[in-house]
Amino acid sequence: MKLYYSAASPYVRKVMMTAIEAGLDKKIEAVPTVVTPTKPNADVARDNPLMKVPTFVTDGGEVLYDSRVICEYLDSLHTGRKLIPISGGERWRALRLQALGDGILDAGILTRYETFLRPEEKRWPDWIQGQLRKVTQGLDAAEQEADAFDSQLDIGQIAIACAIGWLEFRKPAGDIRSGRPKLFKWYEKISRRPSMQTTVPKG
């Protein structure tokens, strides 16, 4: 299996954490890849016309993206406890929590593009403010739910953990710990897992 990989991408981290928790990481060839919205990457484009990471190729040569699809595929390959509960309320809760984590990240990443990639004179404060509100409200919602985060790891928790890890790596929203004691108590605990420790963002 092959993964277009970036050590700075929180969506790649979601895939790698899932692979590690599923015991599949040794079977994945990670191909270092640089993508940025304003520069085409012809190598990635051959497999994914959207030119994003993570992009994944199965042993059978089938291409899969995006991170949600890859994570679900990996979760189907092992016989241990599933990271995406198979059915019922547990499944919808985990998938909705994953969408929350991904949504916080989408807004955080748009903020970073605006404040880092875009030429300074073309930055739009209303846009930044709107995206940061999503980040802040999203984290506040996670704080309210943190007590209920199951001790059993699932894809929702993985997504929230990757979102927090990336927000603390790139800091588009500044300090995010203040006023969220339950969330960060849980985050400290999940951060001790090997799947978190070996995927700390770099770059």
Contact 50, 65 (CB under 8 A): yes
According to the binding rule CB under 8 A, does residue 107 interact with its own copies?
Answer: yes
Tokens at 130, concatenated:
């709107």
Q: Name the residue nearer to its own copies (CB basis): 12 or 104.
A: 104
Q: Name the residue nearer to its own copies (CB basis): 68 or 196.
A: 68
Exactly one of 34, 63, 116, 203 binds its own copies (CB under 8 A); that residue is 63
The interface region with its own copies, picked from 10-18, 22-30, 128-136, 170-178 by CB under 8 A, is 128-136
Q: For the chain, what's the residue count?
A: 203
Exactly one of 68, 112, 170, 180 binds its own copies (CB under 8 A); that residue is 68
The interface region with its own copies, picked from 9-17, 18-26, 135-143, 177-185 by CB under 8 A, is 135-143
Exactly one of 51, 109, 159, 164 binds its own copies (CB under 8 A); that residue is 51
According to the binding rule CB under 8 A, does residue 99 interact with its own copies?
Answer: yes
According to the binding rule CB under 8 A, does residue 161 interact with its own copies?
Answer: no
Exactly one of 26, 29, 38, 80 binds its own copies (CB under 8 A); that residue is 38
Contact 56, 64 (CB under 8 A): yes
What are the strands of the beta sheet with 2-5, ordered from one edge? 29-32, 2-5, 55-57, 63-64
Exactly one of 29, 126, 175, 188 binds its own copies (CB under 8 A); that residue is 126
Q: Which residues contact 44 (CB under 8 A, 6 or more apart)?
A: 4, 33, 35, 51, 52, 53, 55
For strand 29-32 and strand 2-5, is the pairing parallel, antiparallel, or unpaired? parallel
* Number of C-beta neighbours around residue 103 at 10 A: 16
DSSP 189: H
Q: Report angle CA 147, 177, 101 to the nearest 5 degrees.
A: 60
The CA distance from 183 to 160, in Å, is: 10
The interface region with its own copies, picked from 3-11, 23-31, 103-111, 164-172 by CB under 8 A, is 103-111
- Residues in the site for its own copies, rule: CB under 8 A? 37-40, 45, 49-52, 58, 62-66, 68-69, 72-73, 76, 87, 89, 92-93, 95-96, 98-100, 102-104, 107, 113, 118-119, 121-124, 126-127, 129-131, 133-134, 137-138, 140-141
